[in-house]
Structure 1
Amino acid sequence: MRSCEQIIDSIQLGETVQFEKTVTEADVYMFAGITGDFAPVHVNEEYMKRTRFEGRIAHGVLILGLASTASSQFAARANIPGVSAGYDRVRFLGPVRFGDTIRIDYTLRRKDAERARLYCEVKGINQRNESVLSAEHVIKVIPNGNDSRLT
Structure 2
Amino acid sequence: MSLFYEDIRIGERFTTPRHRITEADIGAFCRLTRDHHPLHTDADYAREAGFPGIIAHGLYGLALMEGLKTELHLYDESSIASLGWDKVRFLKPLLAGDEVHVQMDFTARRESKGRGVVTEAVRLLRGDEVVIDAEHVSLIRMRG
Q: Same fold (TM over 0.5)?
A: yes
The answer to whether residue 114 in structure 2 is matched with residue 117 in structure 1 is no
Counterpart contact for 1:17–1:70, Cα < 8 Å:
no
Whole-Å separation in 2 of the counterparts to 1:48 and 1:42: 8
**Percent identity for Structure 1 against Structure 2:** 28
Equivalence for 2:92: 94
Counterpart contact for 1:111–1:119, Cα < 8 Å:
yes
Code of the residue aligned with 1:105 in structure 2: it is: Q
TM-score, with length taken from structure 2: 0.84
Equivalence for 1:136: 135
Q: Could you say which structure has the higher strand fraction?
A: 2
What is the number of residues matched between the two proteins? 138
Q: What is the Cα deviation at residue 45 of structure 1?
A: 0.8
Mark the runs of 5 or more structure 2 residues left unpaired by the alignment: none
SS in 2 for 1:89: strand
CA RMSD of aligned residues (A): 2.3
Whole-Å separation in 2 of the counterparts to 1:23 and 1:114: 38
Structure (1 or 2) with the larger CA radius of gyration: 1
Deviations 1:113-147 (A, max 9, x none): 136310000111113x221100000101246xxxx
Change (3 A) 1:122 1:93: same
Dislocated runs of 4+, deviation >4 Å: none
Counterpart contact for 1:75–1:81, Cα < 8 Å:
no
Code of the residue aligned with 1:91 in structure 2: it is: R
Counterpart contact for 2:69–2:102, Cα < 8 Å:
no
Mark the runs of 5 or more structure 1 residues left unpaired by the alignment: 1-6, 144-151
Whole-Å separation in 1 of the counterparts to 2:22 and 2:130: 19
The answer to whether residue 14 in structure 2 is matched with residue 17 in structure 1 is yes
1:82 corresponds, among 59, 80, 83, to 80
